[in-house]
Amino acid sequence: MLGRTQVAVMGNCSNTLGIPPGKGPHQVGCADLMVDHTVQGSFFRLYYPCEPSPSSEKPCWIPSQEYFDGLADFMKINRSFAERIFNYLYGSYRIPAFWEAPFKSNGKYPLVIFSHGLGAFRTLYSAICAELASRGFVVASVEHRDESGSQENLEKVWMYYRALKPGEEEFSLRNNQVQQRANECIRALKILDEINSGKSVTNVLQSEFDWSSLKNSLDLCKTAVMGHSFGGATVIETLCKELTFKCGVALDTWMVPLKEEIFPNVKQPILFINSEKFQWAGNIIRMRKLDSASIQRKMITIRGTVHQSFPDFTFLTGNWIGKVLKLKGDIDPHLAMDLSNKASLAFLQRHLSLDKDFNQWDPLIDGKDENLIPGTNIHVPSSSM
């Protein structure tokens, strides 16, 4: 990798680029936990309200060079070339949270489990996770081990993104993956439940964070699951498998991996937040099959957004290259993220029974804003429903 000083000069091509910090009243800390370094284990980054700590630094956005290789494989470009480009564009950025800062004990916090998209990993949605933590949530951003992303285990063996093989049926692969992803979200929940009850866990990563400080600090009666794209499908699969989750927020969901037979078994409220440019009729039709007369299912679309308006890339790429790579839409990415986060917070307050002021943003859940579309911009023939 390029030297840190060189990367800092090269990576920040504009002073206006950077991942926005949370807007809530809490400072945000983060720490990684890996319980067992096999696919049967759990690996996630925890974002949480923290105490001020002058010695804490903000960690690098991309944790290790191998993640550049994983992104290159996903994008089907040469690893060596991609490493230079990604280092140039993104090598110096840091996430808006303090590394292993002391946990802020202040009653019980609601919990959100977050699931990343295809080809991604646990750090790429730090703007969303940090915003939730700044508003008084604990957020576990899971790194999936289903070969839909890339991550390391204790022996530094990397699990890179696995592309479809010639002649392989996509649904079979993706459905197996989404079921594993859901199990990993549930496993993260159970580990945090154990930590909350005072049980010690073995972190196979080197860490100075005091995980015992979370004891009795999580309100596990107020737990939600959230995710983007493949992570949105993971939200639905997870809600079906685990009723502890009281609701879900699904960002620009890719519905292909899911079996429609599970839809009647999903009993919790869901908020679908879509981009304007990614969705298509078949995908929307499958979302609409989750509509219910008795369970709140909401859908809004953010004008001027693209599929990559939800990960952090949208904040770290200049307008020209952002448009070329479809990492930016026509809307200001800060405005788009603000709308998504506020609608999510309002929905979470409503269905987790939170004593907050997030209900000030209730109109956004119904698409009441000039930059929102109630429902979808995609024409879906009524005969198809």
Which residues are marked as active site? 229, 252, 307
Q: Do strands 109-115 and 218-228 pair parallel, antiparallel, or not at all (unpaired)? A: parallel
Cβ(165)–Cβ(221) below 8 Å: no
Q: How far is CA 300 from the centre of its chain?
A: 18
Q: Which helix (H) or strand (E) holds 72?
A: helix 65-75
For the chain, the distance separating the N- and C-terminal CA atoms, rounded to the nearest angstrom, is 52
Sheet holding 372-374, edge to edge: 98-99, 27-35, 42-50, 138-142, 109-115, 218-228, 247-251, 270-275, 297-302, 372-374
Cβ(34)–Cβ(43) below 8 Å: yes
The pair of three-digit structure tokens given for residue 207, joined into one six-digit string: 């860490």
Q: Which helix (H) or strand (E) holds 183?
A: helix 170-196
Q: For residues 181 and 238, what is the distance between their CA atoms, to the nearest angstrom?
A: 8
